[in-house]
């Protein structure tokens, strides 16, 4: 079970179901920005 | 608890145990027991990750935090999505490609055995203690609110989890996490609908939001910077990023969740889903707490939510004084309710000057109620300086017990059990995995049959479960429990994260400088914790940077030598 016993060949770079991984990463970061803006708006509107 | 509540609770517990064991059938070797033969789809990985992180404390204490302090705790999670992206890029492909069972296994190839052992021992100690706390916290809260025996609750939850984790292995754990998380979120949603339904008929949802807002309970984002401030945008984004990197990238209880995925892609999607869903989920839980706060603005609430502590003062020599404060508090609360209604009525008119006056009057009434509560807490401390005057852990459950209908109370108790079980089962599974892979198989018995390792893995799972039960029985009272768990993590996480950052990014730095750097970093974090007032989220940042800095410096000083 040492790490150098074997390298899993199936673990080579795989593509996501659609788009590229950088699109997926960008989407998550963009969602974070949108959420922060929404929360900030929420704080300003009600807080 | 009424009969229907018991039916709901018992049905859930039985279902969880049977489901976990049935799902884990066919586990015949340690690859299946520890990695599910790398067969899990992304959605099971994602919800298992989320369920593992969310213990009972998350639901009970977070709602209480929103009630007492507003929603700024949500900022704690702002760094998490960034961490998910970074881990998807750097950690996931490496862990999968090398076919490791634990994150620490990778460190032996990258550095040396001592670095692997150091990080795995740090994990075993810190996760072992944190698991005990995760077991103790809900038992304590249920004992205070429902009068249940703490030891009995600890043993009940502990034994049920040991049963399905030992027999079902990681497959049973992950699929149980999956179903438990759906039950948890569904129940919390029903609770929110019910809370809103219980608000007075003449107060709309929008007005409820306005009331929470004007009284400072919807303060989700705060851009001001302060080292001592635990929850602001900067500590959440930077400190939260480092904490999430450490927790999801180096803590075996999380790493093992995505190591069970079918492929790199499925692991990544699971992590990214967590990054997308976690922040809104925490916002939602905090929002439940804020709505409980609004509910108590229109309905009589206790001055203090921990009935055990309250009983101590009401049977002391200060009982009369406390009763006077209680009476005044009730009057102040009633007056505040009137001021709120007045402010709402004025707000409907287009008269800014009158609205401003009504708002000032409301805030003055709120201030008066807060002063009386402070006076009550002062009396508790005067009666017993060791009194626990933090009641955030009891707010939500007290509300649930008093106001929610039969069946729904049982459902919320199910939330507490489910959250506890999902967090503990993953922890026991990972503690056993690291104990066997990083210690037993690596140091004590390198050659044995798979059957032997599987048996020892199951026994180790039982052993860690009993350890968690015994330690949690002895756990002393801690303040806000959720913070205690996070502080405990932050004392070690920075150091381990620093080691992994060096491993992933600084290819020229070798084992010994990293190992010494880790010791230096850990000493630095303990010094910071003991002698400064830096908020604990920053300990992850400083710890990781100290390890990286010390390792790079030592590597530079010893360059040319083979270390």
Q: Where are the alpha helices (DSSP H) in B475-510?
A: 481-505
> Per the structure block, which two tokens stand in for B324?
């006077």
Angle between helices B252-259 and B103-110 (to 10 degrees): 100
pLDDT class of B559 with cuts at 50, 70, 90? confident
Residue B117 contacts residue B438 (beta carbons within 8 Å)? yes
Does residue B498 belong to the interface with chain A, where contact is any CB pair within 8 Å?
A: no
Does residue B118 belong to the interface with chain A, where contact is any CB pair within 8 Å?
A: no
Nearest to B263 among A14, A25, A31 (CB): A14
pLDDT, tens digit, for every residue of B439-490?
A: 999 999 988 899 999 999 999 999 999 999 998 887 755 545 555 665 666 6
Residue B400 contacts residue B409 (beta carbons within 8 Å)? yes
State chain B's mean pLDDT as an integer. Answer: 90
Angle between helices B56-69 and B113-146 (to 10 degrees): 60
Strand, coil or helix: B40: strand
CA–CA dist B152, B205 (Å, integer): 41
Which residue reads 């967590």 in tokens? B274
Whether residue B105 and residue A1 make contact (CB cut-off 8 A), yes or no, is yes
- A39 contacts in B (CB within 8 Å)? 74, 220-221, 283
pLDDT, tens digit, for every residue of B181-219?
A: 999 999 999 999 999 999 998 888 999 999 999 888 898
Whether residue A16 and residue B265 make contact (CB cut-off 8 A), yes or no, is yes
CA–CA dist B92, B90 (Å, integer): 6
As for the ipTM of the complex, it is: 0.84
Does residue A33 belong to the interface with chain B, where contact is any CB pair within 8 Å?
A: no
CA–CA dist B501, B108 (Å, integer): 15
- The pLDDT value recorded for residue A4 is 44
Percent of chain B with pLDDT over 90: 64
SS3 assignment for B256-305: HHHHCECCHHHHHHHHHHHHHHHHHHHHHHHHHHHHHHHHHHHCCCCCCC
CA–CA dist B259, B266 (Å, integer): 10
pLDDT class of B300 with cuts at 50, 70, 90? confident
pLDDT, tens digit, for every residue of B128-161?
A: 988 988 898 888 888 877 888 888 999 999 999 9
Residue B393 per-residue DSSP state: G
């Amino acid at each position: 079970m040492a790490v150098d016993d074997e390298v899993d060949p199936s673990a080579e770079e795989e593509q996501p179901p659609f788009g590229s991984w950088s699109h997926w990463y960008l989407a998550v970061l963009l969602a974070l920005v949108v959420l922060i803006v929404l929360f900030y708006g929420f704080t300003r509107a009600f807080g | 608890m009424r009969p229907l509540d018991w039916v709901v609770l018992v049905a859930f517990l039985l279902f969880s145990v049977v489901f976990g064991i049935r799902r884990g059938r066919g586990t015949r070797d340690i690859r299946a027991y520890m990695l599910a033969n790398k067969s899990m789809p992304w959605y099971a990985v994602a919800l298992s990750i989320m369920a593992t992180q969310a213990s009972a404390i998350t639901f009970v204490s977070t709602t209480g935090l929103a009630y007492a302090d507003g929603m700024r705790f949500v900022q704690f999670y702002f760094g998490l999505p960034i961490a998910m992206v970074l881990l998807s890029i750097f950690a996931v492909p490496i862990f999968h490609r090398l076919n490791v069972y634990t994150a620490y296994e990778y460190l032996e190839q990258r550095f040396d055995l001592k670095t692997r052992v150091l990080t795995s021992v740090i994990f075993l100690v810190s996760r072992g203690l944190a698991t005990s706390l995760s077991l103790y916290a809900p038992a304590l809260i249920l004992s205070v609110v429902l009068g249940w025996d703490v030891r009995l609750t600890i043993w009940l939850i502990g034994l049920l989890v040991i049963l399905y984790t030992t027999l079902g292995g990681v497959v049973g754990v992950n699929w149980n996490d999956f179903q438990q998380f759906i039950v948890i979120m569904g129940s919390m949603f029903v609770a929110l609908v019910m809370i809103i339904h219980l608000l007075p008929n003449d107060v709309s949802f929008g007005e409820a939001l306005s009331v929470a807002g004007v009284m400072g309970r919807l303060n989700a984002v705060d851009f001001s910077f302060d080292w001592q401030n635990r929850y602001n945008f900067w500590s959440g984004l930077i400190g939260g990023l480092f904490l999430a990197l450490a927790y999801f990238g180096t803590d075996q209880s999380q790493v093992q969740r995505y190591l069970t995925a079918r492929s790199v892609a499925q692991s990544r999607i699971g992590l990214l889903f967590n990054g997308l869903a976690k922040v809104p989920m925490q916002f939602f839980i905090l929002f439940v707490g804020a709505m409980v706060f609004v509910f108590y603005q229109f309905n009589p609430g206790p001055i203090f939510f921990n009935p055990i502590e309250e009983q101590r003062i009401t049977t002391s020599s200060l009982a009369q004084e406390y009763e006077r404060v209680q009476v005044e508090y009730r009057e102040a609360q009633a007056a505040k309710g009137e001021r709120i209604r007045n402010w709402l009525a004025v707000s409907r008119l287009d008269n800014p000057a009158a609205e401003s006056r009504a708002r000032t009057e409301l805030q003055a009434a709120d201030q008066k109620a807060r002063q009386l509560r402070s006076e009550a807490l002062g009396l508790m401390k005067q009666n017993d300086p060791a009194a626990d005057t933090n009641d955030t852990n009891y707010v939500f459950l007290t509300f649930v017990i008093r106001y929610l209908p039969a069946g729904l109370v049982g459902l919320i108790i199910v939330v507490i059990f489910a959250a506890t079980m999902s967090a503990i089962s993953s922890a026991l599974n990972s503690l056993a995995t690291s104990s066997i892979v990083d210690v037993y198989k690596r140091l004590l018995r390198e050659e044995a049959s798979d059957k032997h390792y599987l048996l020892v893995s199951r026994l180790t799972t039982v052993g860690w479960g009993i350890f968690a039960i015994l330690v949690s029985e002895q756990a002393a009272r801690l303040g806000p429990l959720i913070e205690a768990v996070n502080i405990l993590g932050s004392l070690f996480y920075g150091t381990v994260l620093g080691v992994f950052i060096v491993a992933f990014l600084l290819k020229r730095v070798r084992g010994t400088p990293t190992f010494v750097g880790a010791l230096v970093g850990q000493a630095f974090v303990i010094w910071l914790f003991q002698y400064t007032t830096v908020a604990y989220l920053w300990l992850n940042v400083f710890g990781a940077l100290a390890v990286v800095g010390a390792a790079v410096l030592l590597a530079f000083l010893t360059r040319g030598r083979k270390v």
